[in-house]
């Protein structure tokens, strides 16, 4: 089964071992999930979605890789964010949270992004 576990893990700058520790499995198990050799159970899937701040549909989207639908500009923004230090990332998150607050609920969904609060 294709999934976006690796995308969300690397987006959140986590190693396979770090994610494994949060889910009480080994890094090898995370690797197996990412490669599609095995699948996490329901509880593990739900916990991953909470850790990454995404939905199950985003985590397991039936074969489409998450980055396939991104424009080159979006990919560049993600890469820049990934390369930034923690202080810069926190500033970006605060700016997006503020923007979300001042928009009405109809438009706020545009500012949802993976990597939200952990459990």
Q: Indicate if the pLDDT at residue 62 is higher than 60.
A: no
Return the structure tokens found at 87. Answer: 């202080």
Report all structural domains of the chain as residue ranges with CATH numbers, in order of start: 5-67 (1.10.260.40), 68-111 (no CATH)
Question: Mean of the per-residue pLDDT values for the chain?
Answer: 81
Rounded-to-integer distance, Cα 119 and Cα 105, Å: 24
The pLDDT-based confidence of 61 (bands split at 50, 70, 90) is confident
Kindly report, residue by residue over 85-119, the tens digit of the pLDDT. Answer: 889 888 988 888 777 777 755 555 555 555 554 44
The predicted pLDDT at position 84 comes to: 84
> Which of 17, 19, 42, 4 is closest to 118 using CA atoms?
19
More confident position, 22 or 84:
22
């Amino acid at each position: 089964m294709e999934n976006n576990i690796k995308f969300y893990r690397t987006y959140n700058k986590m190693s396979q071992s770090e994610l494994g520790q949060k889910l009480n499995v080994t890094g090898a198990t995370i690797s197996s999930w990412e490669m599609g050799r095995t699948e996490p159970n329901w509880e593990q899937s739900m916990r991953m979605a909470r850790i990454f701040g995404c939905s199950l549909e985003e985590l397991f989207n039936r074969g489409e890789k998450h980055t396939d639908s991104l424009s080159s500009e979006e990919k560049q923004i993600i890469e820049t964010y990934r390369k930034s230090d923690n202080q810069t990332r926190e500033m970006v998150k605060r700016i997006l949270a503020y923007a979300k607050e001042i928009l009405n609920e109809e438009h706020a969904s545009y500012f949802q992004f993976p990597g939200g609060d952990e459990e």
